[in-house]
């Protein structure tokens, strides 16, 4: 079962509006009642520094936590921090969520370049080790393309046989070339490149925290319902 409103009100009253907003988005998308383990992947490349300092990344994490409370049964989101390598793996939950992302980020050391595939593999490894039987919904935040594009594309295609959906969220100019690769990943052909379409992309803009919560939630649910149907039809998800 998902976490009830009463528990959110008791454990994290500051997240109630996000919990309710996420629930509305799930209902509109026709996936209310679905269950998924929610993951958050956060970019720690050097260009992300201001987004940690001004609270934008913390805000995204809270929005994702509001969604997770509707989809998952424990209200805990595994978080993978990455740059050149995987910088750290932690948990983000209803208890003690305020200010936690920056504290974790500051403990991860030097900010480097951008390698998607290592962070993606960390999610896959965690998911497999967890023994989960429900699908996974991964919010993968970044502000630019990866250093190794070939490795990222190869891993995304090979992961299409797993019950994991990758929702990329880009911080930066929605029309900029920094996101050309993410648009490519979003449009990789099926079945020529991958078994099912297992990824979506949302350009959150240069000031993501200024956008309404409902806008992000609607974007997160834009392709997830179609993936659920396709993954079930292909036998990737076995209910």
Q: Is residue 154 part of a domain?
A: yes
The two tokens of residue 58 are 């913390």
Please say if the pLDDT value at position 237 is more than 80.
Answer: yes
pLDDT at 77: 97
What is residue 107's three-state secondary structure? coil
Please say if the pLDDT value at position 120 is more than 80.
Answer: yes
Q: Is residue 201 part of a domain?
A: yes
Q: Where are the beta strands (DSSP E) in 64-185?
A: 76-82, 86-93, 136-142, 164-171
What is residue 213's three-state secondary structure? helix
Percent of the chain with pLDDT over 70: 100
Instruction: Give one word for 235, left, alpha or beta, with left for phi > 0 and alpha for psi -120 to 50.
Output: left
| Alpha carbons 133 and 110: distance in angstroms, whole number | 35
Q: Is residue 30 part of a domain?
A: yes
Q: Is residue 175 part of a domain?
A: yes
Q: Is residue 122 part of a domain?
A: yes
Handedness of CA 95, 53, 108, 82 (dihedral sign): positive
The two tokens of residue 108 are 């991860």
| Alpha carbons 169 and 217: distance in angstroms, whole number | 11
Q: Is residue 69 part of a domain?
A: yes
pLDDT at 133: 86
Across the beta sheet with 199-205, what order do the strands follow?
86-93, 76-82, 37-43, 136-142, 164-171, 199-205
Q: Which residue has the tokens 């490349």?
A: 45
| Alpha carbons 7 and 4: distance in angstroms, whole number | 6
Instruction: Say which CATH number the domain at 49 has.
Output: 3.40.50.410
Q: What is the pLDDT of residues 129-149, one digit of tens each?
A: 999 889 999 999 999 999 899
Q: Is residue 192 part of a domain?
A: yes
Q: Roughly what angle, to the nearest 10 degrees, separates helices 213-220 and 16-29?
A: 40
| Alpha carbons 90 and 28: distance in angstroms, whole number | 31
Q: Is residue 238 part of a domain?
A: no
Q: Which structural domain, as residue segments, surrounds residue 67?
A: 5-233
Instruction: Answer whether 130's CB lies under 8 Å from 211's CB.
Output: no
Structurally, the chain folds into a number of domains equal to 1
Give the pLDDT band of residue 167 (cuts 50, 70, 90).
very high
Q: What is the pLDDT of residues 42-95, one digit of tens each?
A: 999 999 999 999 999 999 999 999 999 999 988 899 999 999 999 999 999 999
| Alpha carbons 95 and 165: distance in angstroms, whole number | 26
Please say if the pLDDT value at position 154 is more than 90.
Answer: yes
């Amino acid at each position: 079962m998902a976490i009830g409103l009463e528990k959110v009100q008791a454990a994290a009253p500051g997240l109630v509006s996000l919990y309710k907003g996420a629930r509305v988005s799930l209902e509109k998308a026709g996936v209310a009642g679905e269950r998924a383990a929610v993951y958050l992947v956060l970019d720690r490349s050097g260009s992300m520094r201001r987004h940690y300092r001004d609270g934008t990344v913390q805000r995204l994490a809270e929005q994702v936590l509001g969604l997770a409370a509707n989809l998952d049964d424990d209200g805990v989101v595994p978080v993978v921090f990455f740059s050149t390598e995987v910088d750290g793996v932690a948990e983000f939950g209803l208890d003690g969520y305020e200010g936690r992302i920056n504290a974790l980020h500051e403990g991860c050391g030097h900010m480097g370049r951008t390698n998607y595939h290592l962070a993606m593999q960390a999610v896959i490894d965690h998911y497999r080790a967890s023994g989960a039987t429900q699908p996974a919904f991964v919010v993968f935040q970044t502000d630019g393309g990866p250093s190794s594009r070939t490795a990222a594309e190869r891993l995304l295609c090979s992961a299409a046989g797993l019950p994991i959906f990758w929702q990329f969220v880009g911080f930066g100019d929605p029309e900029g070339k920094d996101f050309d690769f993410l648009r490519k990943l979003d449009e990789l052909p099926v079945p020529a490149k991958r078994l099912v379409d297992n990824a979506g992309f949302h350009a959150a803009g240069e000031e993501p925290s200024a956008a309404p919560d409902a806008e992000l939630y609607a974007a997160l649910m834009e392709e997830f319902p179609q993936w659920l149907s396709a993954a079930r039809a292909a036998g990737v998800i076995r209910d």
